[in-house]
Structures are given as C-alpha cells and as structure tokens.
C-alpha cells in the first residue's frame, strides 16, 4: 500500500539555536497516520550531526515499509528546496531505521562521533551513522509523489 506525506507544519529557522527551517509531515497509509517525517531545509553545520531527514513509524504500523516509501517521496520534496543530496543520521543500534534507509536507496557513509555540547550528545547519543540519499532513489513510480497539506 503506498503512502502519502501530509504537511502538518512549516517551522521557521532558529539561528540562535543553530536550527534549520523544517517541514513536518504525517506519513499516511490508507487514510491512517502511521508515522511522522521531518525535512530540515538547508546545509548548516548541524546537518552533519542531525541530518536533513528524521522519521518515526508508530510501533503498531512497523514492518510494512512505510518509512522507506516516505523517504523516497521526501527526496522529491527536498528537490523543491534545491537539496539534491539528503543526509540521514541514524543511531548505531537502530537496525530498523538502517534497513528502511537502505531500502529507500540511502547509502551508509560513516559513523561519526557526536560533539559534546549538542542536543544529541546531551540526550546520550555519542555516535551517529551517516547515510546519503540522493534524487535517484526518489524516482519510484509506485511511491508518489502523493503529498498534500492537512485540511
């Protein structure tokens, strides 16, 4: 079953906190919100540690490939913001997220230390895996783009 991304909010950048502007989406399958996805817009230094894309699928909806389908669609949305290459940061112990990223066409690049003083470090994330997702992964006809605004 294909998914669609439903825009929930557009968040302004907060330079004082080194936060990029972002778009927040619900991942919707068969008219049910099964998860969320964020697209951070820009290439500030913070992207090196937090990535352009963050996503989560609710526990009861995992195992259906929704995250991978949504990642393929977010690539097309990112191209509207001149982002041709997206970075996804994944905790080394999050095997499900690693599988979803790989299934969407993302390529593992490296594991990096998280610098002290960042929000990630403060919550206990000392290392993150970097995956690169490019536009070629987003050309699946089966996955969209099916994007709409909440309303």
| Chain segment 21-36, per-residue pLDDT in tens | 999 999 999 999 999 9
Its pTM stands at 0.85
pLDDT at 29: 97
pLDDT at 13: 92
DSSP character string of 62-97: TTSSHHHHHHHHHHHHHHTTT--EEEEEE-TT-HHH
| Chain segment 60-80, per-residue pLDDT in tens | 999 999 999 999 999 999 999
Q: Is the pLDDT of residue 58 over 60?
A: yes
DSSP state, 101?
Answer: H
DSSP character string of 116-140: TTSHHHHTT--EEEEEEEEGGGG--
pLDDT at 45: 75
Q: Does domain 4-149 have CATH number 3.40.710.10?
A: no
Q: Is the pLDDT of residue 116 over 60?
A: yes
pLDDT at 52: 95
Per domain, the residue ranges of the chain are: 4-149
Angle of helix 95-103 relative to helix 66-79, nearest 10 degrees?
60
């Amino acid at each position: 079953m294909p998914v669609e991304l439903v825009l929930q909010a557009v968040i302004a950048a907060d330079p004082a906190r080194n936060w990029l502007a972002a778009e927040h989406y619900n991942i919707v399958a068969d008219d049910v919100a099964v998860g969320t996805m964020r697209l951070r817009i820009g290439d500030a230094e913070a992207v090196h540690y937090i990535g352009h894309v963050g996503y989560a699928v609710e526990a009861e909806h995992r195992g259906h490939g929704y995250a991978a389908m949504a990642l393929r669609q977010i690539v097309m949305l990112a191209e509207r913001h001149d982002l041709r290459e997206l970075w996804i940061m994944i905790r080394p112990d999050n095997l499900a997220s690693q599988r979803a990223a790989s299934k969407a066409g993302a390529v593992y690049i490296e594991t990096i230390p998280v610098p002290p003083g960042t929000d990630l470090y403060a919550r206990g994330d000392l290392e993150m895996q970097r995956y690169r997702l490019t536009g070629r992964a987003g050309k699946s006809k089966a996955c969209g783009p099916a994007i709409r605004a909440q309303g």
